[in-house]
Amino acid sequence: MLDRRSRTAGTATATGLIVKIAVLALVAGLAVWAALPLIGAEAWWALALEAAIVAIVFYTYLQRRAIPLKYLVPGTLLLIAFQILPVVMTVGTSFSNYGDGHRVGKEQAIEAIVAAGVQQTPGGATYLVAVGESADGELTLLLTDTADGSTWAGTEAGLNELDGARTDDSGRVADADGYTVWSLAELGERQGELAELAVPTGPETGIKVQGLSAFEGASTRSYDESCDCITDSATGVVWHADDQSGRFLTEDGQAALVGWRVGVGFDNYLAVLTDPDIRGPFFGVFVWNIAFAAGSVLLTFAVGLGVAMALNRPGMRGTKAYRAVMILPYAMPSFAMILMWAQMFNRDFGLVNDLLGLSVNWYGETWAARTMVLVANTWLGFPYMFLISLGALQALPADSLEAAKIDGATGFTAFRKITLPLLLVALTPLLISSFAFNFNNFNIIELLSGGAPFRSGDAIGGTDLLITYAFRQAFGSSSADYGFASAVSVFIFIIVATISAVMFRTTRNQEDVYS
């Protein structure tokens, strides 16, 4: 018996050792894979941080004895990677001008401006042009050399040979590994972005795009470090560097196409509070955001609690079938249900107008659109409230309810003075989390109304929340402003954290009263 146990323990130990070696080998491989681009970018602080993390992992799991750190390290690293680091990066971005026209460093901006002044030289290389985006969203020229058919990828960082490209009958790149190639329609719609892209190939040479073709030539522009300026010899225009705004400006304030990323302090935050063109719409969205989140919680809780009380009756038949029907919206994919609701609210052939005999323009009138999103969100959210309310009702102390009946409290009085306060003690934390979720409920707005209705010339819609407003600033407009969008995200965090803290304090007071 002892020998059998010893052999079993030895096998388990050997298996664990093999698994440990395999995991540490994987960690080492991932570390090397991540270190190579960091070395290429000369990101030494990031490389030092990666080395420290790998050292901690190896030190922890090469220990033979069991230590608590072995269980804490995975969770801590995941917390840092997926929670703390994104928050830190968002806050850092909010203090910068990062966005379209300010994506690169100053040296790259100089190269791009110089490359934009390229004029074709006799015998210079010519290319067939396709345009695409890399996996990280970087705009890229996908070029085919007309002389030898070789393919190249051109970005603001320079020109690199393109592997794994497939060309169409005309010779243009139709597909390339790691890139999404634009269609001709996208190419026509996004000419503004393409006009800002300049591909340098040397100190004073670069790629110039003309329609669906391009050429390499020499630039008429040159950078002078002594005056920190760029001069165009063909036109005589001189741009001087403005390190505060991260742009090259002429004497009359005209900016070159490409700037660089700089810190702007609290400018993005102050713009929300002081710029009248931003402040008014922002606070209008903020008020509606509070109303939407609070209204969603109140409506879903009221409907969910009402259904739960109706089904929480002893001796009631068919309760299992009723409960199954009630949680159907909760079980279905929310994005599919939202798209279904979008069709139901169609003005001309939607089910809502047909059944009620209405002709409401749900997407064209602000309050109709807001009613629409609240109705759809209530239908999607009440099953969750139904489930937690039903569980809380079944957990209520029977002696308190019996004592209330003996004292003559029945019906609505018993509900208002006994049942509801006891429910709120248990459910308030969940209601707070529901408020925080609905405050940032991106899906219901983006998929159902898209922020509509929009007034003429207004970038903010009648149903926009702060989160959809921030998204539109960062990704949904013709000119992305990640710095300002990050500042709005920080405002959202502060608002939700403040409201949640106040609500949790109220919850503790309730617990003291009813404990």
Residue 392 has pLDDT above 70, yes or no: yes
> To the nearest 5 percent, what fractions of the chain are helix, strand and coil?
60, 15, 25
Q: Are strands 126-134 and 139-145 parallel, antiparallel or unpaired?
A: antiparallel
- Is residue 276 reached through a cis peptide bond, with omega within 30 degrees of 0 on the bond before it? no
Q: How confident is the model at residue 104 (pLDDT cuts 50, 70, 90)?
A: confident
Is the same domain home to 112 and 251?
A: yes
Nearest to 288 by CA among 430, 460, 428: 460
Average pLDDT over the chain, rounded to whole?
87
Phi and psi for 144 in degrees, rounded to 5?
-115, 120
Is the same domain home to 353 and 409?
A: yes
pLDDT tens-digit map of 264-307:
999 999 998 898 888 888 899 999 999 999 999 999 999 999 99
89 within some domain: no
Is the same domain home to 248 and 278?
A: no
Is the same domain home to 144 and 286?
A: no
Nearest to 246 by CA among 353, 342, 104, 61: 104
Final residue of a structural domain among 248, 264, 280: 264
CA distance 507 to 378: 24
CA distance 43 to 37: 9
**Could you give the number of structural domains in the chain?**
3
Is the same domain home to 238 and 283?
A: no
Final residue of a structural domain among 13, 48, 67: 67
Is the same domain home to 406 and 316?
A: yes
With beta carbons less than 8 A apart as the criterion, state whether 83 and 191 touch: no
Is the same domain home to 241 and 292?
A: no
The boundaries of the domain holding residue 197 are: 106-264
CA distance 326 to 307: 8
CA distance 115 to 124: 15
> pTM of this prediction?
0.77
Q: How confident is the model at residue 1 (pLDDT cuts 50, 70, 90)?
A: very low
Please give, one letter per residue, the 3-state secondary structure of 391-457. Answer: HHHHCCCHHHHHHHHHCCCCHHHHHHHHHHHHHHHHHHHHHHHHHHHHHCCHHHHHHHHCCCCECCC
